[in-house]
Amino acid sequence: MILIREKLSIKFFLFLLAAFLLIHIPFLGNYIRVINTLIHESGHAFIGLLGGDVEMITLLMNSEGATYSSSSTWIGSFFTSLAGYTFASFAAFLSFLMIRRKKQILLIDILLGFILINLIFWVRNPYGIFWLCSFAVGFLLLLIKGTQSFRDHLLLMIASILLVDSVQSAFEIFYLSVTHPQYAGDATNLARLTVIIPAPIWGSVFLLQALWFCYYGLKRGYYKLGFNDKTGPLSG
């Protein structure tokens, strides 16, 4: 049992390392990172719908994105600005939790749901449409043709990418909030909304919540994912 745990832990951290390397490959890395951007922008949109209207989401080739929304209240604008990084970090944690509980098909369905909702209602720029369609085809082929082992390992890679990129993007916004607070995206928006709380504080909030979800995501992955059907899932 100890040997099995050691092998699984090595596999798990190899997936995290592979995810880190993948998102830094020129062109391919930006394409892969858009999955985190999609969830981030969807977080803005879902919360924005509670107190206003969402006009459009843009997904760009450089992995960046933008949500164009309007809110009639201060609190609506506040929570919409707060939602992006938090939603992305929570999605990474939830992905590991669902994989641990053998809910891979449900995870694919949820990711497909994000893609279809954005394709139907929000994303209109050419690259965004291309990205959504290409990923949707990939997930459908995974559901129809993929073996259980291939599906499980690919979803672990996607969860690892979400986890790594959620932390990296939160660190990037924290760094920008310190060095260029007027250009720090959501941190800048929150600073303008709260007036007395500067952008670096909001950048710190984004980074800390990403690390918190990362820690609990790792707890759900480390030693606990067990893809070997002969051994079954490990508990700890």
Residues 6+ apart with CB under 8 A from 85: 40, 43, 166, 169, 170, 173, 186, 206, 209, 210
| Confidence band of 7 (pLDDT split at 50, 70, 90) | low
| Confidence band of 3 (pLDDT split at 50, 70, 90) | very low
Chain centroid offset of residue 123 CA:
17
Does 9 have pLDDT greater than 90?
A: no
For range 80-93, the mean pLDDT: 96
The pLDDT value recorded for residue 221 is 59
Q: What percent of the chain has pLDDT over 90?
A: 72
The pLDDT value recorded for residue 139 is 87
Does 222 have pLDDT greater than 70?
A: no
Does 232 have pLDDT greater than 60?
A: no
- Tell me: the pLDDT tens digits for 113-163? 999 999 999 999 999 999 999 999 988 888 888 888 888 889 999 999 999
The pLDDT value recorded for residue 209 is 97
Domain boundaries, the chain: 2-221
Does 231 have pLDDT greater than 60?
A: no
Q: Is the dihedral of CA 106, 130, 22, 88 positive or negative?
A: negative
Distances (CA, A) of 82 to 49, 78, 206: 14, 6, 8
The pLDDT value recorded for residue 12 is 78
pTM: 0.89
The pLDDT value recorded for residue 145 is 84
